[in-house]
Structure formats: structure tokens, C-alpha cells
Structure 1
């Protein structure tokens, strides 16, 4: 079977890799000059020209021994590095509160009230609810761990991952939650699933995209599909400016908003469902400073939304990935959310470096001035699985004609790990 995959991000490259390993003829069309999509590692030299790098998308990936991600990196012969255990904080009120390294530490943590802690201790005894109807993320956590947990801790944790308020989201925004509950409780699910560790591929997350592209026989870059055509004999034609090709199957490994117009003439119901899936944009400020201890030896901090809007938090890439910053410098990555989602009190105010530095200084008053800064704007970077997402995805997939499929992190889950696990099942 000959397959054309539209989209050379991690979803498309990984799909092609699976099909190629099965012996199928496959080629990937990528609209941009380089494959990888959001999973690319970009060069950013130091103040004196020293080598350094930044991530366009995720900073790392959580990997558990024996998991699909673990199997993938081993199959690709791609080494993983672990930063180890580092401190994490949540910004609430006017202080950074340490996040306990072990769940048992929550019993004495000021992150939550005593009432919330007592209710959370009852989580293993809560009944399991059927998967249908779809549940909201806030409602799911409130049902399992208590409303206090959902109100006091969920928002900063979700903001740091999905850049969206939890009350908007479906539980499907974090696919692991339903899997854990299937073991009887979240506590049992985490215990039986095993511990995942934050890992970074040698050379950065972009090494995953590069290695996959190397293992796929044909990746065409600078080729944006503009039309699909159903041919006799259940074959398909794909057209792009100056190029046309035929195949037995076409897989759209594209964001929902890019797949929708291609499908509109052929599968209007699928197109409409995909067009209704919203995406979240974020702005990032990378900065380099002289190290500030103990902050430089930790993961970073997330902000409780009422204390930040729309500043969501700051990571420390120089701790997560030791090769990203020149020696002797601390590299930060600060996240600014979409003002329309976070009740920004001054949405008209430019979110420039001066604005971001002022927010950083609130939490890290001793932070030295930045030696370097770099702005990254990430439009429509994260699929926002709002309530009703499951039905939208189901409608889209079931309405596709034979020989067409849609693969995306909007289908399997927003993280690289979600895509790896979803595609292993799909393949």
C-alpha cells in the first residue's frame, strides 16, 4: 500500500516511521522548510558566540521504563538524558511555595488547606464513573480528589501544561487521568503505572524529529497540499503548487484547522467537526542570566492564575537540558498565555521583555538583569480539548471516507508522549 502523509511534524513523521517499519511505501509532505513542527531545537548562541539552543516546543518528555516512549527512543537509538530531581514551586499570593518531591509531602505543604488535604486522602475510595458521558477536567478532579483540590492546585498545574483554564477543558485534555481511574482510583493508577521521569534526547527535543526524518525514506519539504481528489478504484490524488501525486491512502497529520479546509469538499461533516476544535496561542520569552541559587538548580515555577494573569510561569531549561546554555549562565523560559482566556486586567498592554521582567522580579527579586533575551510567538500551538472534544474527534474520524485518516495531537492528546502512545495503538 502506498501512503502520502500530509504534515511533517512529530505526528506525521512517527506515523510514517510505523508504516515504513511495516513495509509500506510512504512519503511525507511538509509545508515548511524543515520537518518537526513544534518539536524542533533551534540554535541560540551565547553572548560571546558560544553554542546554545532553545526549544520551539516542549522542553522534555516524561518517560517510564517499558512505556511506548521508552520503546521508541530505544528503537531509534536516541540516548536520553535526565536532569535528575529538582525543586519546583507554585507562585500563590506573594510567595513561591515549594512543591513536595513526594506525594506524601502534600500532607504538610501550605499549597492546600487542611480540609482539602483530608478530602484528597479519600480519593482511593471514590467510585469509578463510566467514561460516558464526557466529563469536564475540573469536574473530574473535584469528583475524585475534592473541590478544594480542583480550586486550589489544578489551575497552576494545568496552566503550565496546556496554557488554558481547567474549567474550559475536557478530562480528555489529559488522557492519563481516565487511564489511571480505570485501575480503581488515581492513586492506584499512578502506583501500578510506575514512575515517569523527565527526559531530554541528546541534542534537544528536536533530535527526535530529526531521527524520525532520517528513518523515513522520503520527506518532501516546502510542499503544502492544497487539494485532495478521490479517484476511481478508491485511490487518492494530492495536489500542491507544481506537484501532484497519487496513493492508496492519504493521512492528514495536520492541526485540525489545517485539515478542515482540505476535507470540506469530500467530507463536510468531518471538516465541520475539525474546524470547531479550538487552539491556544502562547508567547515565550527566553532569557539568560547569571545563576540565581537555589532557583538555578530546579525545574522552575508555575503561577496560580489570580496571581499572574496572563503570566503563567517560568521554567529553567539550563537545568532541564544542560547543553542549552553556555557554561556559567542560567537560561529561563517564561510563558505568557492568551489574554482572552486569562481575564488579563490590561489586555492592551504589550507583553514585551520589560513587562515579562517585571513579573519575574516579583517572584525572583534578586534576579540579575538579562544578558540575552529572545521572543518566540507560538500561534495556535496547543489544541484546546474543551468539553465536547471527544464527540468532535469521534465525528471527524467516523465521517472520513475510506482511504483518508487524520492523525494529530488534537486526537491523541496534546503532549509528545500522548502522540507516541496513541500512535502505537493506532499502528
Structure 2
């Protein structure tokens, strides 16, 4: 290494001493060290970056390349012989052999799979940051509600797997919306309500955003905490303000999260005044569009318990379509696992094996599995003082600890499908339970 490099690294190390938490700078230093053949030093700096930013792409790349460089000379007994340091130079303070031994003689590739099966994950796909909009339903500044409005860029193509669900959504909801002239010929207006239901943690909210992205519409979210108010009349005003804000943004998708809370069965609320009862009444009023037009406003809702929703909300003209969103199938599980593993240092992950072992896992369960696997590797890393990648042994240990959370939901769903499906509302659920041989 020449004098210019010495001066460069002296300056960079001084900058790191002044700003030790600057992950971007440390990542650049790690890359430069690797480019100059100082893989062990690069590995140490990359490890420090990953301690603060586990998904840093530069640090992960340096970690992989430095690991390969360290094991290269001895992998097959062939490589170049080590040479003594030039006279007058300080010996490299890092023990290369010790570093190699620490990493192991052969660090596997991140994923173990055929090269043509690797399905890249588009991390750029997502949604714009939501904006806070102050909605005023009465035309004055005395009563306003904060709602979140965003313009999703995700579409159904960004949803891994679940082809049957996506096809049902396209046929029953999206295509009529995209071809209004055909819909009008058959007497169908551009208004609609669709309920996405299924076990918790299976991506119903993401699916709703993907639907908004397909329509090129704004996405307005409303939750019970945004509208429920202890003072008489305010709950209704809040809900009306949210609908007015969504209508002003048309074409828009208004997403009612946890509709079983927003639209709970009035028969279960009890007697006397209740903000919950008034909220359901106002929701029915807004869906029927009394005094205003809902054309261009597409109302979606999500729930884990559609059987707890007031039946009046599920009548024709309101939420008259329901789609079951099940736990991710094998292609979806692979996409989800790849996404979460790719943000962490990994080695030798047999993705197909993990996919086969995670049937009935929700998306949240899969994330928890990866997090638990990472905790195993992190414990080893803390003990050794070096970043050690997640391996299949860590994943197997986590699989022994993490169980699918969808089991209790299936038990409840089984009872509903068996005894409360006289109108055929849950035919999709019945078919799924038959396939699972649960019913």
C-alpha cells in the first residue's frame, strides 16, 4: 500500500474516531479496506456497522466478500503464500489465521438453492409515506379529525403467492371498477364494499393497499381510536368527517381496519346510550350515501372475526363481498422469508426446507421465526466478539420454539363454518377447512 493510501486511511480512521456511530462512513471504510486487500480489518468494521444497522447492504456485501477472501488461500491448500511485511512497515495487528478460524473454513452461501430458483425481492416496492390530513366534516374548524392519506405504489403483483385470492379480488372487485362502462350497462354503479377476513397477521392491510395501488387511488385509513369519542355526537361527526375527506380525495379507497370493532354487532353492545352503537348507525348511513354520492369511493374493510360484524353492514349494497385471506402459501412464504433473511447476515439457509416446515404460519409468524433465528446468531456473536451469520442450526432451533398462531383462529372458524353458514357467506372458509381436513 502506497503513501497516499496511508494518508487516506489515517484521515478516515481519524474521522471515525470523531464520529464512531457514522454507519455510512464506516461502511465506506470497510469497502476501501476490502479493496486494498485488508479483509480482516474490513470484516471488523462491517461487523460494527451491522451491530447498529443489521440490514445495511454495504456492510452485508463486505461481510460476504471479506469472508470469502479470508477463506480463499486455504480452502483447497492452493493459494499464495503469505509474505512478510515490507521493512519499515508496522505488522498488520490483525491475526488473519485467527480471523479465518473464527469464521470457519467454509462459510456457505447466503441461500442454498439452485441458481435459477432465486427470486429477487424488490425492496423498492412499497408505499409512499402517509400524510396526515385534518378532515372537517362540518365545514368549520371546530371539529377536525386527523386521518392518514397515502398513494400506494404496490400492486397485487407485489403480493407473493396467494394467486387464488388475487384472482377472486380481480374478478369480483377490480375488473368492474376498471371498466365502468361495462358495469354501467349492467346497472352497477362505481361504489362497492369488500371485506377481507382471515387469521391475524396474514397481510390483509397490505392486500388492501395493493388494491388501492391497482386502482391508482388514494388510500385513506380509519381506525376505531380515530373516531370513537366519549362525548355525545362526536363519534358520528368524526366518522362523517373521515368519509368526507375520502370523498374529497376520490378516486380513493377508504380502509376500515378492524371492522368488527368499528361495526360491532349492536345486539352485543347492550342497552342504553353507547358510542359504539351510534358509530355503527353512522357507518350504515355513510355506506348508504344519504345526502352525498359515494361514486369513486371504494370502501374496504379488514377483520379477523367477520362473524362479530353487525349483519346490517354485510347486506347487499354495503359490504356485499367477502374474500378470505389465508396464511401465505408456499410461494408467499418463500418471498416473505427471503425478504426478512436478506436483511441480516446469513449463511447456508435452506429456504425450501424452511418453507416446507412453516405450513399454516402467518406472515407475522414468519417474521418472528427469522427474528428468533437472528437472536441465536446474535448470542454467539456477542460471546465471540465477531459477527456470526444465521445458519440452518439457528433456524431449526427457532422452529422448535415458534408455533403458528393461526390455530386458535381455525378452531373458532370451524365452529362458524359448521353452524353459521346457512346463507353461504363462508363458503370459501368451508372449502379451505375441507382441504385441511379440519371440517
Work out whether the TM-score is over 0.5: no
Q: Report the structure number with the largest CA radius of gyration.
A: 2
Q: TM-score, normalised by structure 1?
A: 0.24
More strand by share: 1
The higher relative CO (CA closer than 8 Å, separation ≥ 6) is in 1
